[in-house]
C-alpha cells in the first residue's frame, strides 16, 4: 500500500497535490471524530463545521476547565456523544449509528507525565481504544477513509539531530510514547489484515508538539507559561534545552484533512503513516519559546529553571516531513513566531471576554488566508 521505500508516490489529485483543504470535498460529508472535546479535536470540529460537514463526536468530557470545547461552543454545530473508547460496545454503537464516511481518531490520554502516573489507563485508552475504534470501523458500512492520530513520539528515539522518517522503527521510552508506537502497529496490522479487503483506506498521522489558543492542559509548556504570566508569577521550566518540533495546532489539523481527501481519492497511495511536523528551523529548545512568549506578553514576564529530578523526557525529537510535502503537497503555513503571536492574541482576547466562537472562526480564516480555503 504505497510503502515503497525511497520512491515518491505522488497522489494525483489536483486539490490534494496543492496541499489544500478543499471545502467542497467536506461539505455534507458524514464525519465521526473521537476526542472532539479536546484541544486538537475542538479545532478540528470547528473547521469541519465551518466547511459544512456533518460531524458526530465521541469522547469523554472536556479534559480541562476551562476548555476550548466550552469556550468556543463547539458542541453547537455537531452531534456530541460523551463516552469512553475503552467501552467497545458504546463506541461501536455510536460509530455505526452515525453512518460515517470518514473517521478521525483523536481521543487519547496524550500526556507523557500522566502516563508515568497511570500506565495501565494510558495503554487501555491509547492501544485498546484504537483497537475498539478499528473494530467499530470494520462493522460500519459506509466508511471509506480512517485516520488514527498518533505523535512524533511513536518513533524509537535515538536522540540524534536528524528528523525521523515514516518508515523508521516504532518505539517510545515512556508509557505514553510507547502506547502511541503500539497504536501505530495496531493500525498497520488492521490495514493489512482487514481494511484493504473492505475498501477502507486507513492511515496514521504523526504530528509534533502542537501549540495554539485554547490549550489549558497541565504539564504542557504554553499553557504553563500563560497561566504563570497571566497571574504575574515566574514561569517554572523543567527542561529548557529540550528540543521539540513546535507547530500551530491548525498545521497538523490541516494535514489530517488533506490526508483524508487523499485517502478518499487515492486509497492505495495514501493509506500509510504520514509525518506532519513543522519546518526544520522551528524545532527549537524550550528556552527559546519561553523567552519569546515572555517578551510577547511583556509586563515583566519572567522564567526560572526547576532543576530538580524529573521523569525521563526525550531531548531531541524532529520529524522529516519530506513525504507529506512531496506526495500530498502539504506544508507548514505559519512559522513559530506567527504561531506564538497568535497564541498571545488568542489568550488576551479570551481574558478580555471576546466571543471566542467567532474569534476561532476568524483564526481559521487567518490561517486559511495563508493559502488554505475555508468556506464562507
Ligand atoms: N497536543 C500535542 O502536542 C499532541 C502532539 C502529538 C499528538 N497529539 C495527539 O493528538 C490527539 C489529541 O490530543 P490533544 O492535545 O487534543 O489532547 P486533549 O487531552 O486536549 O484531548 C484528548 C481527547 O481525548 C478524549 N479522551 C481521553 N481519554 C478518552 C477515553 N478513554 N475515551 C474517550 N475519549 C477520551 C478527551 O475527552 C479529549 O476529547 C491525541 O491522540 C494526542 O496523542 C497531541
Would you state the pLDDT for residue 244? 80
C-alpha cell at position 17? 497535490
Going by pLDDT thresholds of 50, 70 and 90, the confidence category of residue 314 is low
Whether the per-residue pLDDT at 293 is higher than 70: the answer is yes
Bridge partner residues of 81 (DSSP): 58
Going by pLDDT thresholds of 50, 70 and 90, the confidence category of residue 161 is confident
Q: Out of 107, 151, 204, 216, give the residue to mutate to test ligand 1, the one with the largest number of ligand atoms within 8 Å of its CB.
A: 107
Question: CA-CA distance, 330 to 17, in Å (whole number)?
Answer: 8
Output the residue whose Cα is nearest ligand 1's atom 32: 84
Residue 269, classed as helix, strand or coil, is helix
Would you state the pLDDT for residue 6? 42
What's the DSSP call for residue 280? G
Average predicted confidence (pLDDT) for the chain: 90
Average pLDDT over residues 256-265: 97
| 311 vs 348, residue with greater confidence | 348
Whether the per-residue pLDDT at 2 is higher than 50: the answer is no
Question: CA-CA distance, 303 to 285, in Å (whole number)?
Answer: 14
In ligand 1, which atom is closest to the CA atom of 211?
A: 3
Output the residue whose Cα is nearest ligand 1's atom 37: 60
Average pLDDT over residues 148-167: 93
Whether the per-residue pLDDT at 8 is higher than 50: the answer is no
Q: How far is the CA of 63 from the centre of ligand 1 (A)?
A: 9
DSSP states of 68-100 as a string?
HHHHTTGGGGSEEEE--TT-HHHHHHHHHHH--
Q: How far is the CA of 39 from the centre of ligand 1 (A)?
A: 7
| 7 vs 128, residue with greater confidence | 128
Going by pLDDT thresholds of 50, 70 and 90, the confidence category of residue 155 is very high
pLDDT tens for residues 39-84?
A: 999 999 999 999 999 999 999 999 999 999 999 999 999 999 999 9
Q: Out of 37, 65, 106, give the residue to mutate to test ligand 1, the one with the largest number of ligand atoms within 8 Å of its CB.
A: 106
Task: Identify the weakest region by mean pLDDT among 101-115, 180-194, 289-303, 347-361.
Answer: 289-303
Would you state the pLDDT for residue 7? 45
The answer to whether the CB of 363 falls within 8 A of the CB of 43 is no
pLDDT tens for residues 196-209?
A: 999 999 999 999 88
Would you state the pLDDT for residue 19? 81
Whether the per-residue pLDDT at 18 is higher than 80: the answer is no
The answer to whether the CB of 212 falls within 8 A of the CB of 343 is yes
Output the residue whose Cα is nearest ligand 1's atom 27: 108
Question: CA-CA distance, 14 to 151, in Å (whole number)?
Answer: 28
pLDDT more than 90, % of the chain: 73
Task: Identify the weakest region by mean pLDDT among 16-25, 212-221, 318-327.
Answer: 16-25
Q: How far is the CA of 36 from the centre of ligand 1 (A)?
A: 9
Q: Which residue shows C-alpha cell 515572555?
A: 294
Would you state the pLDDT for residue 17? 42
Q: How far is the CA of 107 from the centre of ligand 1 (A)?
A: 5
pLDDT tens for residues 230-252?
A: 888 888 898 888 888 889 999 99
DSSP states of 289-341 as a string?
HHHHHHHHH-TT--EEE--S------S---B--HHIIIII-----S-HHHHHH
Would you state the pLDDT for residue 312? 67
Going by pLDDT thresholds of 50, 70 and 90, the confidence category of residue 182 is very high
Whether the per-residue pLDDT at 311 is higher than 70: the answer is no
Q: How far is the CA of 110 from the centre of ligand 1 (A)?
A: 5
Q: Would residue 346 be called left, alpha or beta, if left means φ above 0 and alpha means ψ between -120 and 50 degrees?
A: alpha
Output the residue whose Cα is nearest ligand 1's atom 38: 38
Question: CA-CA distance, 303 to 300, in Å (whole number)?
Answer: 10
Output the residue whose Cα is nearest ligand 1's atom 24: 107
Q: How far is the CA of 149 from the centre of ligand 1 (A)?
A: 9
Pocket of ligand 1 (CB under 6 A): 35, 37-41, 59-60, 63, 84-86, 106-110, 125, 129, 149, 151, 207, 209-210, 217
Question: CA-CA distance, 16 to 203, in Å (whole number)?
Answer: 15
Q: What angle do CA 256, 3, 171 make, to 5 degrees?
A: 75
Whether the per-residue pLDDT at 211 is higher than 90: the answer is yes
pTM score: 0.93
Output the residue whose Cα is nearest ligand 1's atom 43: 110
pLDDT tens for residues 78-99?
A: 999 999 999 999 999 999 999 9
Amino acid at each position: 500500500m504505497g510503502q515503497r521505500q525511497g520512491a515518491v508516490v505522488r497522489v494525483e489529485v489536483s486539490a490534494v497535490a496543492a496541499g489544500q483543504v478543499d471545502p467542497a470535498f467536506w461539505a455534507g460529508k458524514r464525519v465521526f471524530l473521537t476526542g472532539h472535546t479536546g484541544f486538537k479535536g475542538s479545532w478540528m470540529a470547528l473547521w469541519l463545521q465551518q466547511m459544512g460537514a456533518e460531524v458526530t463526536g465521541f469522547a469523554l468530557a472536556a479534559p480541562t476547565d476551562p476548555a476550548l470545547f466550552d469556550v468556543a461552543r463547539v458542541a453547537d454545530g455537531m452531534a456530541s456523544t460523551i463516552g469512553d473508547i475503552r467501552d467497545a460496545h458504546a463506541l461501536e454503537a455510536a460509530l455505526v449509528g452515525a453512518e460515517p464516511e470518514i473517521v478521525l481518531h483523536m481521543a487519547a490520554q496524550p500526556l507523557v507525565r500522566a502516563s508515568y502516573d497511570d500506565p495501565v489507563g494510558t495503554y487501555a485508552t491509547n492501544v485498546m481504544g484504537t483497537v475498539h475504534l478499528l473494530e467499530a470501523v470494520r462493522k460500519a458500512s459506509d466508511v471509506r477513509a480512517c485516520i488514527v492520530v498518533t505523535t512524533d513520539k511513536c518513533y524509537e528515539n535515538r536522540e540524534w539531530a536528524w528528523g525521523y522518517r515514516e518508515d523508521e522503527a516504532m518505539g517510545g521510552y515512556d508509557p505514553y510514547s510507547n502506547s502511541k508506537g503500539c497504536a501505530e502497529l495496531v493500525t498497520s496490522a488492521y490495514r493489512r489484515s482487514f481494511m484493504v479487503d473492505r475498501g477502507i483506506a486507513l492511515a496514521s498521522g504523526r504530528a509534533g508538539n502542537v501549540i495554539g489558543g485554547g490549550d489549558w492542559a497541565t504539564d504542557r509548556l504554553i499553557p504553563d507559561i500563560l497561566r504563570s504570566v497571566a497571574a504575574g508569577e515566574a514561569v517554572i521550566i523543567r527542561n529548557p534545552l529540550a528540543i521539540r518540533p513546535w507547530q500551530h495546532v491548525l498545521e497538523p489539523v490541516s494535514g489530517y484533512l488533506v490526508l483524508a481527501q487523499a485517502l478518499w481519492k487515492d486509497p492505495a497511495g495514501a493509506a500509510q503513516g504520514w509525518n506532519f511536523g513543522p519546518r526544520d528551523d522551528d524545532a527549537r529548545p524550550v528556552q527559546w519559546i519561553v523567552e519569546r512568549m515572555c517578551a510577547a506578553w511583556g509586563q515583566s514576564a519572567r522564567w526560572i529553571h526547576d532543576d530538580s529530578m524529573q521523569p525521563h523526557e526525550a531531548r531531541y525529537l524532529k520529524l522529516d516531513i519530506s513525504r507529506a510535502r512531496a506526495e500530498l503537497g502539504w506544508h507548514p503555513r505559519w512559522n513559530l513566531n506567527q504561531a506564538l503571536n497568535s497564541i498571545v492574541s488568542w489568550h488576551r482576547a479570551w481574558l478580555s471576554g471576546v466571543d471566542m466562537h467567532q474569534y476561532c472562526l476568524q483564526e481559521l480564516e487567518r490561517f486559511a488566508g495563508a493559502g488554505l480555503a475555508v468556506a464562507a
